[in-house]
């Protein structure tokens, strides 16, 4: 279940809280902070694909740490979106092996099809186009990631099909 954030009121669902507690139990009792990355992932999935400052403050509260400790971590790791994103975040690999197999063309194609540049949201707000570094799929490039799923061995035709399918969702 997705939830939205409102100012000063961030509430995880019961299922998410259970998952958070499960992760915290993996580390020594005095090392709760270890769970910060798993919890940020859960938070991002829970609150519309990004982690707002309010969400990060909530994570700090759960872990009994200062909010700055969460900000420091959330801004270090590239998977956490710090600004609102579209419904589907397209993370296209741009690194060497994928580039050799045509990632540049795929990115150009996406930019023209979505009418936005890398780092921006499409006009309809449905898609966010991001480029990312190597996703450990070098033999299956070019490829991209949407949420937890990899789409591999892509070309512009397959890409169009995928975007059509996602638009209908």
Q: Which two tokens stand for residue 58?
A: 């909530």
Annotated binding residue at 138? yes
Q: Which is nearer to other proteins, 80 or 127 (by Cβ)? A: 80
Q: Which of residues 3-32 bind other proteins (CB under 8 A)?
A: 26, 28, 31-32
Nearest alpha carbon to residue 77 among 40, 102, 47: 40
Q: Does 76 bind other proteins (CB under 8 A)?
A: yes
Q: Does 113 bind other proteins (CB under 8 A)?
A: no
With 0-12 / 13-18 / 19 or more C-beta atoms within 10 angstroms meaning exposed / middle / buried, residue 144 is buried
> At closest approach, how far in Å is the CB of 45 from other proteins?
9
Q: Does 49 bind other proteins (CB under 8 A)?
A: no
DSSP characters over 31-69? GGGGGHHHHHHHHHHHTTTS--HHHHHHHHHHHTS-HHH
Window of 7-15, 35-43, 113-121, 154-162 that interacts with other proteins by CB under 8 A: 35-43
Rounded to 5°, the CA angle 88-92-95 comes to: 160
How many residues does the structure list for the chain? 169
Q: Does 55 bind other proteins (CB under 8 A)?
A: no
Number of residues in contact with other proteins, rule: CB under 8 A?
Answer: 48
CA dist., res. 113 & res. 91, Å (int): 15
Q: Does 128 bind other proteins (CB under 8 A)?
A: no
Whether the Cβ atoms of residue 139 and residue 86 lie closer than 8 Å to each other: no
Write out the residues near other proteins by the rule CB under 8 A.
Answer: 26, 28, 31-38, 40-41, 53, 63, 66-69, 71-73, 75-80, 94-97, 99-101, 132-141, 145, 148-150
Residues in the annotated binding site: 93, 98, 134, 138
Residues in the annotated binding site for [2Fe-2S] cluster: 93, 98, 134, 138
């Amino acid at each position: 279940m997705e939830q939205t954030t409102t100012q000063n009121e961030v509430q995880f669902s019961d299922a998410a809280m259970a998952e958070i507690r499960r992760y915290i139990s993996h580390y020594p009792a005095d090392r709760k902070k270890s769970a910060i990355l798993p919890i940020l992932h859960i938070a991002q999935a829970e609150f519309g694909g990004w982690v707002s400052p309010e969400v990060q403050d909530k994570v700090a509260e759960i872990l009994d740490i200062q909010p700055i400790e969460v900000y420091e971590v959330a801004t270090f790791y590239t998977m956490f979106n710090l600004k609102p994103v579209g419904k589907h975040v397209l993370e296209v690999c741009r690194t060497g092996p994928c580039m050799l197999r045509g990632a540049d063309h795929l990115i150009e194609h996406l930019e023209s099809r979505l009418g936005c540049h890398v780092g921006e949201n499409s006009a309809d707000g449905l898609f966010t186009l991001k480029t990312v570094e190597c996703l450990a799929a070098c033999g299956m490039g070019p490829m991209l990631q949407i949420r937890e799923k990899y789409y591999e061995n892509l070309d512009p035709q397959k890409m169009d099909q995928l975007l059509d399918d996602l638009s209908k969702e």
